[in-house]
Structure 1
């Protein structure tokens, strides 16, 4: 199957130079840490906060649940905004809310204020992962997306593991208020970099970045370059504007667009299993601090450091799993007799993208079941700390790799609304994990940590056949959905033509 002539006629997917892409992806990757980092950073300080505010620890725990709920809902609104108006306005809105919330949290000493401001803080930070994934989808073709999205979504697994390390050290040696001062300073630096150097990448606004964006979408660096008569994107010269690369969403996005994805057979299964998968992982994360303290009597600082193996495993998975996804894409291209041009988008109609992603994901899911069991029974049997930490490392490694594949598949199959698709993923994941966090302590009290691990891995195993269903039938479902949408678009165009 020769696609050389077709590829030659197709426009370059993104005119942004590779070195600039790397800088952009590094920046959005760091920003993607904020939401999960913020959610977990004060886990080691819960007892200290409860004592200072003179409330029960269980009441402070409620702020974790409410944070998760807002973390799921808010990206549906911001993601929709970014798919239509661009990534920069969405980033500026979210970071403005987040900065105000952190400043207020650092200054307050009231439980009601803590609850309200944590919700505001969640609303401000939660869209960063969706925006980061969408930014990558704007610039990177499907053949390389596995690796690049892996770096961008690193925060999903690294943030919850790294947060307790930072929070434990700050609360132990300074004060729990310094957790929010730290987040304020960290986010202020990221915001300054975003405003200064992050270009607009939204394909509904700038296409393949050859089109000059509106004034409010220009970065400070782009504004300075244009004012001094230099190329906007930092190359030797600006590309000729190619308006054919503008990619408007097929449907008008709205906050309910995320829910509509759940109605799709493939989308609903992928998001549903991804939510259940993350909920089990989050049950381990949120109960780990209490389990370590009750068994070993560790301080907040030492407990926080015990999360490091999870963080290291999560970080390593981004290199290993991302590479596997891209290699599998190339393998399928060879099987189809296609040559890959990484500068041009690969047509999803040709590639069995569900099979490409899930052939890597599904084995990682089954291995993750084993690592959860290893962790739970090592903790239950009161074995050495080394055994617990080794099992946590492998849990971070294999869980993060599988989660990375689910995130990439959702973006691949909704390329016209990548931020909305990632927001839908975030919505399902956060709402299910909010419920899981609420039942986790009760479950451990009733059946013990060992059988809680059996419960988590058992749920994953019971729902895993649905992934095989997507692998085998997902391409057919996607084609049927597209045909149905094309028919609707044709009928709509016909009616509008008759009206005119």
Structure 2
């Protein structure tokens, strides 16, 4: 009898105590916090020439700062993701923004190449963790049946960076000089840091559970008293006690370990190769637009808008599609899609199919449009052709990215920031390789054959992802059995 009452009470405890408006506020904050990493990368492109001239180095030396930025963009989240999964999202955000602002000030003041190279690595380390943290917060506050919608919004910030970065960078570099780019980022980050510091609540489930447990005072914000008052009026919302995790140095090997799990490795590598192809296209676009159409830095920046618009629309559309498909699969199994506890305990729930059925059409559309883009650029058609295709490339690749990122979080709900950091590592490191080889590749075999190769690579990802749909639930069962045999709670 007592057990039945206890079970009934636990069923009434919500997954998250944050209200819809509080969730909207949190997602709004994290969406634009995730903007800083990609905007810091692309806002820099129009200033490469002036920087090389000012620092008396070659263009290839300046390009090295792009590669090292992406290397640290992949590495740093491995530390901050593991830290945030144990100690909380707020302290992780604070660390990221402090490092980032200090690096921006240093970049604005430096006058030699060595300082530029080192400080760009520090800047990347500070900004890149915000993408992993955005996905982690979404996992903290949303059940799988509605996660697609929130992940769609969380992805928008990361997509706006590549779109608006070159435009802002082009205007600032042309009219105020290259140093103004870094002063702009300093002011932008400083202003945005204030609402995070004052109002953004802790959401990490290892620290506050479903949000009903209060974090330490040093980790509190001005929204906490409002939540506490609501909990005092309704104690049934309070989740089970939380066992504090001792503070220890983050272990990046936990992130690397995910790359060697069967199911995770297929998803992470597929996402990485998609990103590498897309980033390679973006990296060679400025030189091709300058050579083929005679565009200056500002006009080149404007051309990035179409892919950004396509990507933003895709992020919002795919979120809805994922939620609809999730509910469809739940109904087929006779489940309530909002019954988080039962669905999470069902190892056999086909979460891979629910996500991948939406992702695969986007991947195939991306392959088709990237081939067309390559040959249209090769033929030097009217600019309307490449810009239209850029919209569809942005739409299709972003749709696929969003879904694979959501599935990554679905598979590792207990450590979403670490999982996202692993995805970020594969994307950025493969992207860094792509930016290094794409321009020589285009020079050797041309735009058409280069992006025919990229499309072929993307099509080759379909069989492994179909294998994930077919054998993923079995892989998860095996993993759960291994953990149980070791006495570890999954």
TM-score normalised by structure 2 residue count: 0.93
Query: 1:199, 1:217 → 2: CA distance?
Result: 9
Shift of 1:155: 3.6
Provide the rounded CA distance (Å) in 1 between the counterparts of 2:242 and 2:367.
Answer: 43
Cα pair 2:144 2:340 within 8 Å, conserved: no
Query: What CA distance in whole angstroms lies between the structure 2 residues aligned with 1:118 and 1:352?
Result: 42
Q: What is aligned with 1:138?
A: 140
How far apart are the structure 1 equivalents of 2:393 and 2:244? 39
Offset, 1:153: 2.3
> What is the deviation of 1:189?
1.5
Cα distance between partner residues in 2 of 1:309 and 1:455: 23
CA contact (8 A) 1:210 1:238 kept: no
**TM-superposed deviation, 1:72:** 0.5
Distance 2:232 2:239 in 1: 21
Change (3 A) 1:38 1:9: same
Which secondary structure state, in structure 2, belongs to the residue aligned with residue 200 of structure 1? coil
Is 1:476 aligned to 2:478, yes or no? Answer: no
d(CA) in 2 for partners of 1:233 and 1:477?
Answer: 44
Aligned partner of 1:338 in structure 2 is 335
Post-superposition Cα deviations, 1:381-407, rounded to whole Å, max 9, x if no partner, equal: 000111110000011111100000110
Length, aligned pairs only: 479
Q: Is the 8 A contact 2:89 2:202 kept in 1?
A: yes
Q: What residue is the counterpart of 2:240 in the other structure?
A: 244
Find the counterpart in structure 1 of residue 424 from structure 2. Answer: 426
Distance 1:44 1:352, change over 3 A: same
The answer to whether the 8 Å contact 1:232/1:238 transfers is no
The answer to whether the Cα contact below 8 Å between 2:74 and 2:424 also exists between their aligned partners in 1 is: yes
Identify the residue that residue 498 of structure 1 maps to in structure 2.
none
Residues 177-222 of structure 1 deviation map (CA, whole Å, 9 limit, x = unaligned): 1111111111112211100100000100100111111112101443
CA 369–84 in structure 1, closer or farther in 2 if over 3 Å, else same: same
CA distance in 2 between counterparts of 1:467 and 1:305 reads 35
- Looking at structure 2, the residues matched to 176 and 86 of structure 1 have their Cα atoms a distance apart, in angstroms, of 36
**In the alignment, is residue 315 of structure 1 matched against residue 317 of structure 2?**
no
Equivalent residues of 2:331, 2:337 under 8 A apart:
no
TM-score computed with the length of structure 1 as normaliser: 0.91
Residue 238 of structure 1 and its aligned partner are, at CA, apart by 6.4
State how far apart, in whole Å, the 2-side matches of 1:125 and 1:72 are: 11
Question: Which structure 2 residues correspond to residues 37-436 of structure 1 after superposition, within 5 A?
Answer: 37-222=39-224, 225=225, 231-232=227-228, 237=233, 239=235, 242-244=238-240, 246=242, 254-341=251-338, 346-347=343-344, 349-436=347-434
Residues 348 and 473 in structure 2, CA contact (< 8 A), matched pair in contact too:
no
Structure 1 spans left out of the alignment, 5+ residues: 493-500
Asked if structure 1 preserves the Cα contact closer than 8 Å seen for 2:15 and 2:210, the reply is yes
Which segment is superposed worse, 268-277 or 51-60?
Answer: 51-60
Q: Does the alignment pair 1:22 with 2:12?
A: no
Task: Return the alpha-carbon distance in structure 1 between the equivalents of residues 244 and 144 of structure 2.
Answer: 19
Cα separation, 1, equivalents of 2:342 and 2:416? 15
2: distance between equivalents of 1:92 and 1:153? 21
User: Which blocks of at least 5 consecutive residues in structure 2 are unaligned?
Assistant: 1-5
Q: Distance in 1 between matches of 2:241 and 2:455?
A: 45
User: In terms of mean alpha carbon deviation, does 48-57 or 343-352 score higher?
Assistant: 343-352
> How large is the Cα RMSD of the aligned pairs?
2.1
Cα 1:196/1:344, change in 2 over 3 Å: farther
